[in-house]
Each structure stands twice: as C-alpha cells, then as structure tokens.
Structure 1
Amino acid sequence: MDSNVQQYIPVADVIAKTFGSDVEVVIHDLTIPQNSVVYTINNHVTGRQVGQSFNHLITDVLLSQNFTNDYSANYYFHTDDGRLIKSSTVLIRDHDKKVKGALCINIDTTKITENINWLSSLVPHVPNKLSESTLPFENTNEMDHINEIANDLIDKTIGNKPVDLLRREEKIEMIRFMEQKGVFLIRGTIDRVAEKLNISKVTVYSYIDEIKEKNHKG
C-alpha cells in the first residue's frame, strides 16, 4: 500500500466509529487501479472488499460538476439490493501533488429515510424533495486535474509491460477494464490508450465496440 494512502487508515477508523455502523469508509490506492480497494470499515454497507477496484470515481466524482478542491460531496447511488447510499469522496495526494488514492464515505440512508417518512406522515402537506444536479462540467482547471488523474490511471493500468509483446486478448482486457470504469468518458483518453498500447485510435474504438457487443449478447 502506498505510504501516502496508508496514513489515512486512522482517519477512516475514526469516521466510522464516530458515526456508527451505517457509515462505511473505503480507502483506494490508485497506483493499483484494478485492485484499488486497500482498506474498508463497516463494509456491510456496500459490500466493498479489499482487492476490488473503484466503481464511482470517474462517473460520480471526477466528472461531477460538484467536484472541486479534490473532493465531491453528497452524491447518491443504489446498491444491488436497492438501498440508497449517500457518498462523498476526497482524493489523496503526495507531497508532489500527484494523486495516489481516494477516501470514500458511504452512508446507508435506509434508517434516515424511514424516519423522515414517519415524521412526514405526522405532518401532512410537507413536501419531501430530493434533488440532484446534472449540469455539465465545464471548469477548465478542474478538467486539467481530471485529465491528469485519468492519464495516471491509464498508465498504472497498462503498467510497464512490453506492449509489442502483448497478445490481442490482453490489450482488449485492459481496454475492457478502463471502459467499465468510465475512463473513456474523459476527453483525450482514447488517444492516450492508443499511444500507450502502440495501436491506432481506430483499433481502440474497434476493441471498445467488440467489448460492448459481447456485453450486449451476454
């Protein structure tokens, strides 16, 4: 585990112990993207396990209009069993300002929602609104940071392997991982991957189409 990431383990513990068992904290080491989860506490909230990869980092954090100053607070997602999770994520950087990891706080809102609904039933005509902004992300400075992070994830995913010796299937598997994690939603990443794998952009697009076709059939 990267030493810059490891130092956040006590922070994760104190958050979870302060706010109780419905609050999960997950620490990612983004120097190992495919197995980025390196620490969890109260992981019954989402079932995150050490050795898994990130899920929402790109789509709900880096590409969110709320992403600023290295964090995105109060975004939502659903677990496989339908529970609504309120989440916040902050990036972890080293002394050279390079992104090394992320700390995520996930709150199971089930009990909160049940209590809100019960209180609302006692006070008729009180609106119960939950809004979520979906405006496009335009901050140029933040996009520079996002591109830097995406490029670093690409570099770490491909690693220092001799790409000319990689089999076609190995390249497709790397592209599959990055496509599933939303890497290609970020502008310029196709070019970066093509350069790193020493293939053309057209080949990258064809691999992505092949992956999507197989997923659709599957």
Structure 2
Amino acid sequence: MRDDPSQDAILAALAPVVEGLAATFGPTCEVVLHDYRRGERSVVAVSGEVTGRRVGGALSEIGLAMLARGADAANDLNYVTRTSDGRVVKSSTMPLRDARGELFGALCVNIDVTALRRAGDILTALSGSGPVELPRTTFAHEFDDVVDAVIRTRELSLGKPLPALTRTERLALIGSLDERGIFRVRGAASRVAERLGMSRSGLYADLAVVRKGTEETS
C-alpha cells in the first residue's frame, strides 16, 4: 500500500466530518475513520461511543473484509451485526481511495439500534415468527483480539483444537483467514503462526500453497 499526498489530504478533510456526523445523529451514533496504512492501529479519528473504539485501535473483521476485496471494495451500507456484549449495531462502511484509485482507508458509521431491535423482536414474537439470528462482529482495540475471534470461530466450526488439525484442515483454515484479509495487516502472520503452533516460515509456505491452488482453480 503506497503513500500518496492525496491520502493524507483526504483524511485531514474527513477528520472534522467524523465529529459532525456523530453529533448530528446523537448518542447512539459512532463514526470511525480508518487509515489502513497503519495496519493494526488503523483508527485515526473516532467520535461517539457504540463499539468502544479509540484512536490507535485495530480494524475489525469488517475492515479486514474490505481490505481483502482490495480494488473491488465498494460501499457496504446498512448491514446489521451483534457485538460481543449483545448490542445490535447497524453500520455502513465506505472505502476511501486516493487520486490513483487505490484503497487506503474507510469511513465507518455505527448506530446502536438495540432498543429498536428489542421492540421488533416483541412484534415478531406476537406475530408468531422466530427471531432472525445476527452475525457477531468483534470490535476490539487490540488487533490480537480480532485475530483470535476469527480463528476461534473457525476452530469451533471444526470441532477440534488447532494443534490437532490435519494438514488439509490447516490449509483450509489458512485459506479462510487469507480470504478475510488477515494477512494484509503487517505482523498478522506471526500472530497466526503462533496460534497454529508453527513457525512463520512454515505458515508462509502453507499460504503459498493455498494461493497457488486458488490461482489454479480460478
């Protein structure tokens, strides 16, 4: 990800917008500005208290997905997720591009709609329909926590501890992490290798196998 003067100019121009948007929508709104060049410390401005984000914090799984899409990244608007503490959040993530069209950051708006969701659940129950299960998203200050959440979800789906994975299962896990954009963040490979109980060089070797297989089947 190359630096460009226009990137800094765009971030500087959006900084006051962050506070303005959050103030406009009130206490249930949070606006976060990300600079993906900073990797695991991508949050450069934040206003509001919904997910507990702070300047210097990590990008979420949603940000990782945006990074993974790269040139194909587009506005992801009005999606609804549930936080680890059970709150329901309606969000929009809008990628930022420089003068060359290169993705380098994102502007995110999060609105706590828990109260509205509870009212909706009551109406749903009265109508006899079942509640809709929402995907959970990890919003954390430390990137390690985001990596752990992604890996833990995959570990639970496999039903076995990571050290017990077969090579095929390990390659599938690494491929899943790569699709989620984990390895686009500086230093992430070392963290993943540690959690898988393998060397970083071994992880890169497996990652090369996964990516080669993806290219051959595409």
Q: Normalised by the size of structure 2, how large is the TM-score?
A: 0.54
Alignment partner, residue 71 of structure 1: 75
Secondary structure (helix, strand or coil) at the match of 1:2 reads helix
Secondary structure (helix, strand or coil) at the match of 1:175 reads helix
- The size of the alignment, in residue pairs, is 149
**Which has the larger helix fraction?**
2
Change (3 A) 1:77 1:124: closer
Q: 1:204 corresponds to which letter in structure 2?
A: Y
1:175 to 167, 189, 192: 189
Unaligned stretches of 5+ in structure 2?
Answer: 1-6, 136-177, 194-199, 208-218
Write the distance in 2 (CA, Å) between the matches of 1:204 and 1:132.
34
Change (3 A) 1:130 1:68: farther
Alignment partner, residue 24 of structure 1: 30
- Contact 2:79 2:90 survives alignment (8 Å): yes
Q: 1:51-70 counterparts in 2 under 5 A?
A: 51-55=56-60, 56-59=62-65, 61=66, 70=74
Alignment partner, residue 94 of structure 2: 90
Deviation at 1:206, TM superposition (A): 6.2
Write the distance in 2 (CA, Å) between the matches of 1:19 and 1:128.
31
1:110 to 104, 114, 139: 114
Residue 50 in structure 1 maps to residue 42 in structure 2: no
Q: Normalised by the size of structure 1, how large is the TM-score?
A: 0.54
Deviation at 1:115, TM superposition (A): 3.2
Q: 2:119 corresponds to which letter in structure 1?
A: N
Change (3 A) 1:125 1:68: farther
- Contact 1:2 1:100 survives alignment (8 Å): no
Superimposed CA distance per residue, residues 30-70 of structure 1 (whole angstroms, 9 cap, x where no aligned partner): 1111211011110x2110111012012123x4668xx9762
- Contact 2:88 2:117 survives alignment (8 Å): no
- Contact 1:30 1:100 survives alignment (8 Å): yes
Secondary structure (helix, strand or coil) at the match of 1:89 reads strand
Write the distance in 1 (CA, Å) between the matches of 2:27 and 2:129.
29
Change (3 A) 1:132 1:47: closer
- Contact 2:15 2:33 survives alignment (8 Å): yes
Q: 1:1-218 counterparts in 2 under 5 A?
A: 2-42=8-48, 44-55=49-60, 56-59=62-65, 61=66, 70-117=74-121, 120=123, 124-125=126-127, 127=129, 130=132, 154=184, 157=186, 173-176=187-190, 179=192, 202-205=202-205
- Contact 2:37 2:104 survives alignment (8 Å): yes
Taking every aligned residue pair, what percent have the same amino acid on both sides?
29
Write the distance in 1 (CA, Å) between the matches of 2:68 and 2:56.
24
Secondary structure (helix, strand or coil) at the match of 2:37 reads coil
Structure 1 runs, 4 residues or longer, greater than 3 Å off? 61-64, 126-133
Q: 1:125 corresponds to which letter in structure 2?
A: S
Deviation at 1:116, TM superposition (A): 2.7
Root-mean-square deviation over aligned CA pairs:
3.8
Q: 2:204 corresponds to which letter in structure 1?
A: V
Q: 1:52 corresponds to which letter in structure 2?
A: G
